[in-house]
Amino acid sequence: MVMTSIISQSDWLATPLGQYLQSQEQARFDAAVSDIFGFNAVQLGLAEADLLKDSRIPFRCKAGQGSAVKLKCDFEQLPFASNSIDLLLLPHLLEFSGNPHQLLREAERVLVPEGHLIISGFNPYSLWGLRRLCGEKKHYPWHGRFISLKRLKDWLALLALEVVGGRMSGYAPPMKREKWLHRLNWMNKAGDRWWPMMGGVYFLVAKKRVTGVRLIRPQWNASSMARLLVPKPTQKTECQKLATENSNEPNH
């Protein structure tokens, strides 16, 4: 389960610093998803942002917790069949998960061979990481366990998820006031050139590699996918119902 904090993610995203982060990341996701094709795309978490809005994939949905998502589920037990998702987004989930390894295993399970996984995370070796190290850690996002880029790449490699792209963003220090973020915006323009590994947020694109396997699947549309994911009402919770539909699917 994802950890909670005194200041919630949605509250923090409404602050000037949160808005600054969203604008930086939205541009990165927009550029990446527009060049990825397939039938089914899912965004896990960060329901306040539409990170799939520029995707050309016909069926797109948000999954997770909260009223803004179409599909409520447990991130560590995804209610999707194995080899069924062409594009999966994990925006700032791993550093707030109690079991990031299981979350990645589930991501690998549901991706089709050659499917894409896009991850954003806070960089511990940055001004943002320094702020977390030196300040109080009870509020979002500072209560999270920031994962280094090297460690994340090692985890992905163990799951045969090959990193095929990546960028940094958010080079300005995490200032609370909007005027200071505006004044320091020059750091974002200079960061890629002068201190490329010091961005506050990293952004990775990985592809699932399956040697010698070619998966041929029927073309799903939005209505058929909806029938697959939405079971008949029962006394179980929505997450339990969704998990039951795929109970025959083996987990890694």
Residue 244, Cα to own-chain centre: how many angstroms? Answer: 24
Start-to-end Cα distance in the chain: 18
Structure confidence by residue, pLDDT tens digits, 210-219: 876 555 555 5
Over the chain (252 residues), the average pLDDT of each successive run of 10 is 60 89 91 94 91 95 81 90 97 94 97 97 93 85 94 96 92 80 72 75 94 57 54 46 50 50
In this structure, what DSSP letter does residue 244 have?
H
DSSP states along 10-25 = HHHHTSHHHHHHHHHH
Q: Which of 40, 29, 35, 219 is nearest to 112 (CA)?
A: 40
Cis peptide bond N-terminal to 124, omega within 30: no
What is each CA distance from 241 to 32, 60, 149, in whole angstroms? 33, 20, 36
Other CB atoms within 10 Å distance of the CB of residue 185? 12
- Return d(Cα 248, Cα 81) in angstroms, integer: 9
Cis peptide bond N-terminal to 250, omega within 30: no
| pLDDT, position 216 | 54
Q: Give the DSSP H/E element, type plus range, for residue 165.
A: strand 161-169
- Return d(Cα 5, Cα 52) in angstroms, integer: 26
Q: Classify domain 9-245 at the CATH topology level.
A: Rossmann fold (3.40.50)
| pLDDT, position 136 | 77
- Three-class DSSP category at 58: coil
Other CB atoms within 10 Å distance of the CB of residue 92? 21
| pLDDT, position 87 | 98
H runs (alpha helix) in 73-231: 100-110, 127-134, 149-158, 178-183, 186-194, 222-229
Structure confidence by residue, pLDDT tens digits, 60-71: 999 987 777 778
In this structure, what DSSP letter does residue 97 have?
B
Q: Which of 56, 52, 53, 51 is nearest to 36 (CA)?
A: 56
| pLDDT, position 178 | 79
Would you kindly state where each structural domain of the chain is located, as residue ranges? Answer: 9-245
Bridge partners of 61, per DSSP, are 42
| pLDDT, position 201 | 94
